[in-house]
C-alpha cells in the first residue's frame, strides 16, 4: 500500500476508520513557518458532519501535533498530526463482514489483502482518512495565503440543482472565494443551496443518496509553475483529486467541453494589461502545457453518490461463495459533496505547495516568491 504522495512536500497517511486514530506525517516543510492552529481547526469544522444531510457519526476532530512544531513554528523536521477516532461503532459491520457493499472497496480490498484488511467502516479506504488530509491542507493553505494565493470550492451541481458558476473576472472571482470562507453550505446562491439541502434530505428519507460536481478556483498563482511531462499541474492535482474517496471525474477549464469547439472558439488570446501578460478568456483554466500562465486555475471534480444506502441490494457472500442480499446498517452520509469541498481545497493546496517548492525552493515558504 502506498499512502505517500509528493516530491518536495511529502504526505504520508495512516490509520483506519475504526482504528484508535488517523493521522498524517508531512516532510519537507521549511523551518520557521508560523502556524495558526485556529485556522486549521476551522478547516476541520468545514468537513465536520452536520444536520440531517450528514452521517450521525459526530467526531470532535481535534488535531494534535506530535512532532515538527514548537513554540508556534514549524521546526523543519517531520511534522506529525494525529486525530483520534472517538465515535466508532464497529459492531455495525460484524454481521456483514463477508458481504461486500456495492461500489465500496470492500471486495477489491479483500482480493488485494487476502482478507486481512480492516473491514470496519471501510478501513483505510474510508472517507475518515480525509480528516488528516484536511488538517495537512490547513497548513498548506496558510502558506499559500501568505503569498496571496487563494483557493476556493463550491458545489456547482447537486442532483438536478445547479449553482452560479465562478466568474471569469478575477476581481469578482476573488470576492466569490471570500464568500465561501466559512463552514456553511458551500454555494454562491443561497437559495439554490437551500434547494440542494432539501434534495439531500429527500434522498435520505428514501434511504438513498446524491452526488454532484464541485468547482474550484485558485487565484494569484505565478506563471511558470508545473513540471511537464509527468508532474504537470493537471497531472499532480488529478492524482491527488482521484485519491479522494468517491471522486470519479476531474476536468480543467472547459474540459470535455473542448470536444465540441473549433480552435478559434477554444483558444485564449493573449493581451497586455498593466504590464502583465493575461488572456482575454480562460477556457484552458489557467494552464498551458501543464504550466500555470498566471490566470486563475479552474477545475471541476465529479463526486459520485454515497454508495452506503439503506435500501436492500444484491451482493455476494465471500465465505459461502453464493449470491446474497444486503441491508446496510450503521451511520452514513446521504451526500458527502458538501463535506468534500474542503478536502478538494486541501488536496489542491498540498499539490500546489509541492509544485511551488519545486519551482522556487523550500525557502520560498518563509521568504517569499522571487
Q: Quick one: pLDDT at residue 90? A: 67
CATH number of 127's domain:
3.60.150.10
- All 3 cell numbers of residue 355? 509544485
In angstroms, rounded to a whole number, what is the distance separating the alpha carbons of residues 66 and 135? 13
pLDDT in tens, 225-268: 999 999 999 999 999 999 999 999 999 999 999 999 999 999 99
Structural domain range at position 165: 4-367
- Give a three-class secondary structure readout of 231-299: ECHHHHHHHHHCCCCCEEEEEECCHHHHHHCCHHHHCCCEEEECCEEEECCCCCCCEECCEECCCCEEE
Helices (H) and strands (E) in the chain, counts: 9, 18
The residue-averaged pLDDT of 179-190 equals 90
Number of domains in the chain: 1
In angstroms, rounded to a whole number, what is the distance separating the alpha carbons of residues 121 and 106? 10
pLDDT in tens, 4-54: 999 999 999 999 888 889 999 999 999 999 999 999 999 999 988 777 777
Confidence of residue 88 (pLDDT cuts 50, 70, 90): low
Check whether 1 has a pLDDT greater than 60: no
Confidence of residue 127 (pLDDT cuts 50, 70, 90): confident
Mean pLDDT (the chain, rounded): 92
pLDDT in tens, 198-217: 999 999 999 999 999 999 99
CB 175 within 8 A of CB 244: no
pLDDT in tens, 324-368: 999 887 777 889 999 999 999 999 999 999 999 999 999 999 985
In angstroms, rounded to a whole number, what is the distance separating the alpha carbons of residues 165 and 187? 10
pTM: 0.94
Q: Quick one: pLDDT at residue 86? A: 81
Check whether 369 has a pLDDT greater than 60: no
Q: Quick one: pLDDT at residue 370? A: 42
Top-confidence residue, 97 or 174? 174
pLDDT in tens, 174-183: 999 999 987 7
Q: Which of 113, 345, 351, 65 is nearest to 217 (CA)?
A: 345
Check whether 122 has a pLDDT greater than 80: no
Crossing angle of the two packed helices 337-360 and 233-241, in degrees rounded to 10: 140
Check whether 57 has a pLDDT greater than 70: no
Amino acid at each position: 500500500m502506498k499512502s505517500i504522495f509528493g516530491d518536495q512536500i511529502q504526505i504520508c497517511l495512516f490509520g483506519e476508520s475504526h482504528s484508535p486514530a488517523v493521522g498524517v506525517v508531512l516532510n519537507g516543510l521549511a523551518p520557521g513557518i508560523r502556524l495558526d492552529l485556529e485556522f486549521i481547526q476551522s478547516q476541520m469544522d468545514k468537513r465536520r458532519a452536520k444536520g440531517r444531510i450528514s452521517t450521525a457519526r459526530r467526531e470532535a476532530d481535534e488535531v494534535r501535533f506530535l512532532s515538527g512544531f514548537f513554540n508556534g513554528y514549524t521546526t523543519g523536521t517531520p511534522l506529525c498530526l494525529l486525530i483520534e477516532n472517538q465515535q466508532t461503532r464497529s459492531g455495525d459491520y460484524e454481521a456483514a463482514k463477508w458481504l461486500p457493499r456495492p461500489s465500496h472497496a470492500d471486495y477489491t480490498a479483500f482480493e488485494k489483502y487476502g482478507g486481512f484488511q480492516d473491514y470496519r467502516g471501510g478501513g483505510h479506504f474510508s472517507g475518515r482518512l480525509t480528516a488528516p488530509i484536511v488538517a495537512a491542507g490547513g497548513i498548506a493553505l496558510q502558506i499559500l495565503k501568505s503569498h496571496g494565493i487563494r483557493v476556493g470550492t463550491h458545489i456547482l451541481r447537486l442532483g438536478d440543482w445547479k449553482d452560479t458558476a465562478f466568474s471569469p473576472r478575477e476581481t469578482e472571482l476573488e470576492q466569490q472565494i471570500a464568500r465561501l470562507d466559512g463552514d456553511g453550505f458551500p454555494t454562491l446562491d443561497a437559495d439554490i443551496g437551500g434547494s440542494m439541502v432539501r434534495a439531500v434530505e429527500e434522498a435520505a428519507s428514501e434511504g438513498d443518496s446524491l452526488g454532484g460536481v464541485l468547482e474550484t478556483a485558485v487565484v494569484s498563482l505565478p506563471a511558470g509553475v508545473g513540471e511537464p511531462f509527468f508532474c504537470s499541474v493537471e497531472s499532480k492535482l488529478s492524482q491527488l483529486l482521484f485519491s479522494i474517496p468517491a471522486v470519479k471525474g476531474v476536468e480543467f477549464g472547459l474540459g470535455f467541453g473542448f470536444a465540441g469547439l473549433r480552435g478559434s472558439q477554444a483558444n485564449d488570446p493573449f493581451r497586455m494589461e498593466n504590464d502583465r501578460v493575461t488572456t482575454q478568456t480562460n477556457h484552458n483554466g489557467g494552464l498551458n502545457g501543464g504550466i500555470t500562465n498566471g490566470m486563475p486555475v479552474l477545475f471541476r471534480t465529479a463526486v459520485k453518490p454515497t454508495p452506503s444506502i439503506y435500501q436492500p441490494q444484491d451482493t455476494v457472500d465471500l465465505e459461502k461463495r453464493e449470491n446474497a442480499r444486503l441491508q446496510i446498517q450503521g451511520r452514513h452520509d446521504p451526500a458527502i459533496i458538501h463535506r468534500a469541498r474542503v478536502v478538494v481545497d486541501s488536496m489542491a493546496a498540498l499539490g500546489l505547495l509541492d509544485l511551488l517548492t519545486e519551482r522556487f525552493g523550500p525557502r520560498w515558504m518563509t521568504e517569499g516568491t522571487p
